[in-house]
Amino acid sequence: DTVPVVPAQRGNPVLRFVRNVPWEFGDIVPDYVLGQSTCALFLSLRYHNLNPNYIHERLRRLGRSYALQLLLLQVDVKDPHQALKELAKMCVLADCTLILAWSPEEAGRYLETYKAYEQKPADLLKERVEQGFLARVTDCLTSVKSVNKTDALSLLTTFGSLAAVARAPREELSLCPGIGPQKVSGKG
């Protein structure tokens, strides 16, 4: 399970910093293929300033074949703002996700991370779920709009269990203190 790298990237200092995942040269359209649906183009701002058409050409050839297309941009010029603005706009129009790196190390780290995290669930980004039962039930109930923590607790104490709350008819729910005529909505 390696990262295919387009041979044209040979000599890019970024490759020196891709150390935590294996990579090999291969015949691909983007610069790096970081997973089933993820690919990346690498661009250095200095190069872009010299050859402003290069990236457009690359994007055109790439088309929309990957779900997540990254433009990994290395900021290595003194005053990047004008070019940055253009590229940001282009990325929005071309359905690319722009990632900025300020050094080859940082760029290499992004490449590594994308590959390494390919299958990683988003739990890390989510709110930490508390382990206790009460905390979880409350959390669960409050995900319903207009139910707050007190409501959740009063629901639980009146009905006894989550199953009972779910089974309870609307009239009984609205009898609970603090809860108006609202319902746990059906689904699907």
Any contact of residue 166 with other proteins (CB under 8 A)?
yes
CB 80 within 8 A of CB 50: no
- How many whole angstroms from its chain centre is CA 28? 24
Which of the ranges 1-9, 23-31, 53-61, 84-92 carries the binding residues for other proteins, by CB under 8 A? 84-92
In which element (H, E) is residue 32 found?
A: strand 32-33
Retrieve residue 172's tokens: 């009984």
What is the closest distance, in whole angstroms, from the C-beta atom of residue 85 to other proteins in the complex?
Answer: 5
CB closer to other proteins, 98 vs 176: 98
Which of the ranges 23-31, 43-51, 55-63, 95-103 carries the binding residues for other proteins, by CB under 8 A? 95-103
Question: Is the dihedral angle over the CA atoms 166, 170, 171, 176 positive or is it negative?
Answer: positive
Bridge-based pairing state of the strands 38-44 and 32-33: antiparallel
SS3 152: helix
CA–CA dist 157, 107 (Å, integer):
53
What is the closest distance, in whole angstroms, from the C-beta atom of residue 3 to other proteins in the complex?
Answer: 14
CB closer to other proteins, 52 vs 160: 160
Q: Where along the sequence are the contacts to other proteins (CB under 8 A)?
A: 19-20, 37-38, 67-68, 70, 75, 80-81, 84-85, 88-89, 91-92, 96-100, 102-103, 105-106, 109-110, 112-114, 116-118, 120-122, 124-129, 132-134, 136-137, 139-140, 143-146, 156-157, 160-163, 166-167, 184-188
